[in-house]
Amino acid sequence: MQYTDLERRVFGPYGNGREQVYGDPDAILRRLLHCLDGDPNRFLRDYLADRLFDEAGNETGRDPQKEALAFAATERLLDAARDAFGLVPFDPATGQGVTERQALGVLFGFVDYLDGLKKKRAAPPTSPRLTASPPAAWNTSIISDSSSTGHGCGCNEPGP
């Protein structure tokens, strides 16, 4: 059976810490939803919660009262990104693996990819809409204690 380009959606390539790879967007989204309690938009919003912006959308500073919220959201987004995209965590002893900035870059690249698909055709009604714009500094290219869960994404579900 032949599939059209729109039917055979593939995300990538992106660096996973070892090599350039491609991902199945349906599997990636399913894992993100699982790791982020079914509400990735909440974590994407909270990720930006401590940032202050002017009317033009430029970051002007940070709100220290919301720093803990943004930190917790960043940790969960990083865990979810590593799990959903199969990213190799950064190893300071070797310098190998994906840095936090790179992991967030892959995540935000996926959000942009989903937005592009929605512009090409209407999304199925069951597909959640991920919405977030990374700060401008992240545009060039989503950590709980993984020992507390069986699969490393910080969602408190037992692993396999």
For residue 85, what pLDDT band results from cuts at 50, 70 and 90? very high
d(CA 104, CA 83): 12
The string of DSSP codes covering the chain is ----TTTS--EEEEE-SSSEEEE-HHHHHHHHHHHTTT-HHHHHHHHTTTEEE-TTS-EEEE-GGGHHHHHHHHHHHHHHHHHHHTPPBPBTTTTBSB-HHHHHHHHHHHHHHHHHHHHHSPPPTTSPPP-----GGGTT-----GGGSSSSSSS-----
pLDDT at residue number 140: 30
The pLDDT of residue 158 is above 50: no
In this prediction, what percent of the chain has a pLDDT beyond 90? 61
Instruction: Pull the structure tokens for residue 148.
Output: 């507390």
User: Is the Cβ–Cβ distance between 12 and 106 less than 8 Å?
Assistant: no
Contacts of 135 (CB under 8 A, 6+ apart): 48, 51, 59
The pLDDT of residue 2 is above 90: no
The pLDDT of residue 130 is above 70: no
d(CA 44, CA 62): 16
pLDDT at residue number 138: 40
Average pLDDT score over residue span 5-16: 82
pLDDT at residue number 137: 40
Task: Map out the domains of the chain as residue ranges.
Answer: 11-148
For residue 110, what pLDDT band results from cuts at 50, 70 and 90? very high
The letter for the amino acid at 102 is: Q
Which of 89-93, 103-107, 125-129, 135-139 is least confident?
135-139
pLDDT at residue number 147: 35
